[in-house]
Structure 1
Amino acid sequence: MKYRLLCGTALAVLGNSAFAACPAVTVADPMGVATGAFPQQYELVEFEAAAGCTMEFSTNPDIEALNAEIQGNPDLPPLAERLPAEPLVVAPYDMIGTYGGTFDALSNNTEAGTSDFLSIRHVNLVRYADDLTTIVPNVAKSWAWNDDFTELTMTLRDGHKWSDGAPFTSEDVRFWLENLSLDTNIREKAADYVLAGGEPIQIEVISPTEFKFVLAAPKPGLLVHFATSYAQPFQPAHFLGQFHPALNDDADAKAAEFGFESGYEAINYYFGASDWTDTPSPMLRDPARAATLPYATQPTLESHIYVADTTEGRKLVANPYFHQVDTTGQQLPYISRQDELYKNDAEVRILSLINGEVDYKAQSLQLPNAPLLLENQEGGGYSVQLKPTVAIPTLSFNVTSDDDAKRELFANPEFRKAMSAAINREELNEVVFFGQGEPMAYTGFSPLPDFAATYGKVGTEFDADGAKAALDALGMVDADGDGARELPNGDDIVLNIQFATQGMSGDLLELIAQHWTDVGVETTVKEVTPDEYRAAQSANELDVLAWWKGEPLAIALGTNEGLVPPFGSYFGHRTGMKWAEYIDSNGSAGVAPPAWVDALVEDVATLQSAAPGSAEASAAGEAIAKAFTDNMLFIGTVIAPSPIVVRTGLKNVPEFQTSSYEYYRTYPYRATQWFLAEDN
């Protein structure tokens, strides 16, 4: 039985349809149907008008069995009651897909090397199209800015539902903002993306399908943030809200029914204290307890939802209420199941790829992996795309080290410039990247916008003699004649670069360590897991930090996370931890940053509030690029292409524009219309 959505109700269509069937429009074959307002997708009314049809809807024949695996979900109503009245119509890339199969994913560990997999099921209010230029609707149907970028009005889809069938409305956005993001009982410090001009963003709920973000200062990059970030600006108020004291006088009593001591404990159990959507679910953190609760995980709007979560990996099934359909009316996603397996050893992961055990992989792969992957692609049943990256492999020194002598040295820009000059980037490019890369400084932006173009090579020239002279001038000499320089106070120093393959190539770092040792600064390299790296980073224990950094201008307009202390997040590259502590505490804790950092913070604020492309924005952006390169806080190395592995049986996967986290990996490439040509 198929259904036609009509004014929010269903008409059963038996036998031959009374309506003209919609054509199987794809990107490869538009079948004469005009392009919609946005590339590769349509609103329902728009598509029906363009195609001269009335759409009938159908769903995965296994959807009831899949739904039965979702702990706490009720029996399914008919499809017409699950789809929005205004579903998003997606044109598949090459062909209309078929249902079924299991998507096999590979990650390093829980919260490590997982964003690839997260991005496959991810949704947000909007997203970037695969041109990485055009922002298009997703969860939101439409949006509108006021003239000065201080009010962003968004319209949701009528009839959109959470994965448990509860209505999704503007109240879920308000709940995310007011009761989670800005509640200090849940998040001690508000993230920059919920602030504008340093003040919390406000929300006005206009109707169940319309709301307005009101900003204290212009922030045109807010929309880009929604298009690229893992942070989803909506949470299930009907579920989490029952535990929130501001919304339910009996919140603690309700939480007690679930075995929690308070409502906030229940919220933390399901949601945690972060918008990061890959924190361990209750099924992993407390499996015995999760099994006894009405819901093992909170409802989602994503294409798939957790049904199992262990130390070995995760399992998900298709969301039976997902809001997208293809051009023939088939509810997406096509793929029934997703399995994520953890393998923390880089060589073991590569072997799994070569053996054809993985459907898609990009994260934690770097150009040095490419020859082996290319050599085995035919036998392994996969193809390799070599694509440009946005991020530059960078190093930094812990400028707020707990060791006073190291902090004094590391915080000196002349030391950092000397260590940059000691790196032979041409050798790095030839040996590690097969001549396919380009030496690049880190300017605060990558790729380089026009206003930063002249700064892209600053400090990248190899000058070992100059580096030695600069180190001598700093008092960092080899006083005891053992071949290794000491700190200016005479203490021995060995730089130990700890790295994870998720963030940097070991081959690259081994060469850099040799370059630094060659100028007298003894350096060793040690591979650790991503979790070990992040734990040491968070504890301010690393002398040298090694991770990639990328910051497209559009994304920098939406969040200052990579541009102000500590210059990154837990998941990547942070330095200046105690500078951030000083700023956050208004000088009552931490280490006072130098004057150039204070000026940088002001320039970032100006950049974010200025009209995009204006002279004011360009001037602020150039000042940021100059500050980063003048002070060499991050030492850029070589930017190079990176491999993407796609198994042959996975269909409707396009050529990527870039291999990057910055645009949230697969999100622009519409993984909900990927499908498996055979059961997997």
Structure 2
Amino acid sequence: MGKNFSLGLTGAVAIAAMMAAAGPVWAQQQSPVLDAAVASGELPPVAERLPANPLVITPVESVGTYGGTWHSALRGGLDNAWIGRTVAYDGLVRYDREWKEIIPNLAESWEVSEDSRTFTFKLREGLKWNNGTPFTSADIAFAVELMSEPTYGAGTFIKNPNNPVKVEVIDDTSFSLVFEKPNGVIMDELASINGLTLVSLSKDYCSQFYPKYNPNAAEEAKAAGFETWELWMGNRCSWATETIRFANPELPFMSAWMIEEPLTGDATRTTFVRNPYYWKVDTEGNQLPYIDRLEMRVSDSLEEITLMALNGEIDFQDRHIATVANQPIFFDGQEAGDYRLGENIPSTMNTLMLQFNMNHVDEKRRELFQNKDFRIGVSHLIDRQEIIDVIFTGQGEPFQAAPRPESPFYDEEMAKQYAEFDADAAAAAFEAAGLVRSGDFYTFADGTPLKITIDIISSFRSEWVDMMELLQLQLEAGGLDIELNNIDRTLYYDKRPLGDYDAQIWQGDGGLDVVQEPRYYFPANPESVWAFRWQAWYNGSNPEIAEEPADWAKEQMDLYNQLRSEGAPEARNELMKQILAIAKENFPVIGVSLPGNGYYIAKNNMRNIAEPMLHAYLFPTPAPYDPFQWYFAQE
């Protein structure tokens, strides 16, 4: 084997050594809410519930006290990302709080072969799911086996046709992931929120829905009201952070809190209670988490959630409510609501990405949207400084799809190209793209009217409506007839495979996590809305709609395949720079502005919350800052 990794958290090394020597009996402290269950024999003592080598967590400020309910809110029954950010970040490995290192989690150590093909993990001995059944290497093998099913499937980091993987089980606590080719990015995948997929499926529970282990699964699926075993399995054992994962209280968890009241389509709240078998402790041997319960109000009304925060009814949250528009009222309401504002540093590189559909089913629109001159013209019609001043009170700067200034991949020319508000340059670019000005608006060269519909989801970012209404005025003043289409998030996603949309918007991911989130730099994944059918070709998904990409995009795909197979970080970075250079040259998507720093809201008695926090999706803030060690200070 090659490199060996067996890392510890700062300040915990001596305690970890003591634990290994003393065995599990050293830990005696648990939440008082579990005392009765232990006394009655319903639960074993805490020392028997912990693994032999629990993960020791150093609190941000101080050792906490048990108790309390953390109140927050979800925006509608499909809003599962907040649960992923608060409850579900517990994979084999994880990122440290500074997003600099990959550190142990469920796996206490790992080794990487010299050729970066074989990754051998050692699980903590004695890990248990929240129902008390052992968590072993067999669960990992089962998850990979199931996710490799052609009709069930999973994320590309496991089900990657370019680099298949198999699991070699060594014993109950040791296994290897063996890839056909070198895999230079797998550890980052496992450390991100995506790593949940590999530790989500208890073989003991989920095998009952799988024909390989239950020959009657197809028949039982129909009896349960499902047409196929895959649909039954998906309903009971969702493999990722989809909403359905949090709709089944029977599904075993390895996280700090487990489902009490499930998240369903018509739920008005969802709740989670502490996992009595959670496998982390603080530096004094207290089993985590400190907080007993999580309660999330489910509401479609942003105004209701905002009012809850102002009234002090939310203990910690940033999602949905921590907007630029809300910041002044939240700042002024701190004393009355008994809360404070902390700083979030975003990983995103843009407040809004405008993505024209290069794979449009209409040939004329496809040709137009693939024309770089057209995209340059649109970009020059956007008065970014006006949007920054009006919508973001002057915070931010004009910016395209490019790595953030803090990133080692930052390229100022890429970030600033075509970002000047210049109506004459726009007109020249549209002429080069073959458009003809006829009265107030441009038409196609044959005189066919050109009306462009841009899909938006106001429920995801409240400022998007204001931004797009202003952007609509700017583009129409420059001769483009624009219609805004505010639609439901489900329909927003459903339109993508159909290919009949003109353009969609989203936030600019990939500002700091450039290698891990390249959706705007090349057609990398289904979030590359600007070339959905090209990414389907690349990923081997949706074969019925997949289309061979343009040569420049195929070159990027080849480079990224090389990157994923490269073990040396320096070589991966050089390959990513080549991908970015091609993106810079071809300018596939249009950005508006670099976001200013964000904020979160926390009750004054909630402790051990880090400030500032790096804020990302793959680094799923606040989860890497260990909410299980947050606590409510005693009044």
Mark yes or no: TM-score above 0.5. Answer: yes
1:210 positional shift:
0.9
Equivalent residue letter for 1:300: F
Q: 1:194 aligns with which of 152, 158, 164?
A: 158
User: Is the CA contact 2:403–2:409 (under 8 Å) kept in the aligned structure 1?
Assistant: no
Amino acid at match of 1:276: T
Match of 1:185 in 2: 151
Change (3 A) 1:256 1:225: same
SS at match of 1:672: helix
State the SS of the aligned residue for 1:225: helix
Instruction: Give CA deviations for 1:569-615 in whole Å, capped at 9, x if unaligned.
Output: 4xx5623222234453798744432111111111111222224443x
Contact (CA 8 Å) 1:55, 1:329: kept in 2 or not?
yes
Report the equivalent of 1:27: none
Q: Partners in 2 of 1:150 and 1:475 — Cα distance?
A: 50
Q: In the aligned structure 1, how far is the partner of 2:548 from the partner of 2:151?
A: 28
1:208 Cα shift?
A: 0.7
Instruction: Tell me the equivalent position of 2:107.
Output: 140
Change (3 A) 1:554 1:409: closer
Query: 1:44: Cα distance to partner?
Result: 5.0
What is aligned with 2:182?
218
Pair 1:381 & 2:338 matched: yes
- Structure 1 residues 168 and 432: CA distance shift in structure 2, 3 A: same
The one of 574, 577, 585 equivalent to 1:622 is: 577
CA change 1:64–1:184 in 2 (3 A) is: farther
Cα pair distance change 1:442/1:534, threshold 3 Å: same
Pair 447,600 (structure 1): closer, same or farther in 2 beyond 3 Å: farther
Partners of 1:182 and 1:200 within 8 A in 2? no
Q: List gaps (5 residues or longer) in structure 2.
A: 1-6
CA contact (8 A) 2:403 2:512 kept: no
Matched, 1:667 2:626: no
Matched with 1:61 is 32
8 Å CA contact 2:356, 2:503 repeated in 1: yes
**Identical counterparts, % of pairs:** 27
Quote the residue 2:255 is aligned against: 302
- Secondary structure, in 3 states, of the residue corresponding to 1:194? coil
- Contact 2:522 / 2:579 at 8 angstroms: preserved in 1? no
Matched with 2:361 is 402
Residue 150 of structure 1: how far off its partner (Å): 1.4
What is the distance in 2 between the residues matched to 1:538 and 1:372?
Answer: 41
Change over 3 Å in CA distance of 1:358–1:489 after alignment to 2: farther
Alignment of 1:584-663 (within 5 A): 584=540, 589-614=545-570, 616-640=571-595, 641-663=597-619
1:117 corresponds to which residue? 83
Residue 488 in structure 1 maps to residue 454 in structure 2: no
Give the number of aligned pairs.
614
Change (3 A) 1:623 1:67: farther
Kindly provide the CA deviation profile for residues 105-155 of structure 1, in whole angstroms up to 9, marking residues without a partner as x.
Answer: 21112233x323322122111111111102211111111212232111111
Do 2:560 and 2:576's aligned partners in 1 also have CA atoms closer than 8 Å? yes
Q: Deviations over 1:270-322 (max 9, x none)?
A: 123x4234336555xxxxxxxxxxxx431110111112124223111111111
Q: Which residue of 1 aligns with 2:437?
A: 478
Asked if residue 128 in structure 1 is aligned to residue 84 in structure 2, the reply is no
Pair 37,240 (structure 1): closer, same or farther in 2 beyond 3 Å: closer
Q: 2:110·2:121 contact (CA, 8 Å) conserved in 1?
A: yes
2:244 matched residue in structure 1: 279
Indicate how the Cα distance of structure 1 residues 445 and 252 shifts in structure 2: closer, same or farther if over 3 A, else same: farther
Q: Distance in 2 between matches of 1:586 and 1:351?
A: 43
Structure 2 Cα separation of the partners of residues 464 and 498 of structure 1: 24
Aligned position for 2:44: 77
> Displacement, 1:537?
4.0
C-alpha spacing 1:175/1:116, structure 2 compared with 1 (3 Å): same
Q: Deviations over 1:331-373 (max 9, x none)?
A: 1111111111122233333222222221222223333332222
TM-score normalised by structure 1 residue count: 0.83
Contact kept in structure 2, 1:43 and 1:87, CA below 8 Å: no
Work out the CA distance in 2 between the residues paired with 1:474 and 1:561: 25
- Rounded to whole Å, the distance in 2 between the matches of 1:254 and 1:196 is 31
Q: Contact 2:218/2:229 (CA < 8 Å) preserved in 1?
A: yes
Partner SS, residue 575 of structure 1: helix
Matched, 1:236 2:187: no
SS of equivalent to 2:421: coil
Match of 2:295 among 329, 333, 339: 339
| Structure 1 vs Structure 2 CA RMSD | 3.1
Give distance in 2, aligned partners of 1:511 and 1:314. 37
Distance in 1 (alpha carbons) for counterparts of 2:338 and 2:500: 43
Specify which of 17, 27, 46 is matched with residue 17 of structure 2: 46
Residues in 1 aligned to 2:448 and 2:37: alpha-carbon distance in whole angstroms: 63
1:101 aligns with 2:68: yes
- Please state how far the C-alpha of 1:412 moved relative to its aligned partner: 1.2
CA distance change for structure 1 residues 255 and 59 in 2, over 3 Å: closer, same or farther?
farther
Alignment of 1:420 with 2:375, yes or no, is no
The offset of 1:238, in angstroms, is: 0.7
- The amino acid of 2:86's aligned partner reads I
Give the letter aligned to residue 535 of structure 2: A
Deviations 1:213-261 (A, max 9, x none): 1122222221111111244212201111233222344555776897777
Give distance in 1, aligned partners of 2:347 and 2:609: 20
d(CA) in 2 for partners of 1:611, 1:401: 37
CA distance in 2, matches of 1:670, 1:530: 30
**2:121 is the counterpart of 1:166:** no
Partner of 1:350: 306
Any gaps of 5 or more consecutive residues in structure 1? 1-35, 69-73, 284-295
Structure 1 partner of 2:427: 468
Deviation at 1:195, TM superposition (A): 5.0
Find the aligned partners of 1:138 and 1:604 in 2 and give their Cα distance: 28
Residue from 533, 545, 569 that aligns with 2:492: 533
Structure 2 Cα separation of the partners of residues 444 and 67 of structure 1: 52
Q: Distance in 1 between matches of 2:412 and 2:275?
A: 45
Mapped partners of 1:165, 1:568: distance in 2 = 37
Q: Evaluate the alpha carbon distance shift between residue 258 and residue 104 of structure 1 in structure 2; reply closer, same or farther with a 3 A threshold.
A: same
Contact 1:240–1:267 (8 Å) recurs in 2 = yes
Return closer, same or farther for 1:638/1:47 CA change in 2, 3 Å cut-off.
Answer: farther
Q: Is the 8 A contact 1:395 1:636 kept in 2?
A: yes
Instruction: Give the structure 2 partner of residue 247 of structure 1.
Output: 213
TM-score (norm 2): 0.88
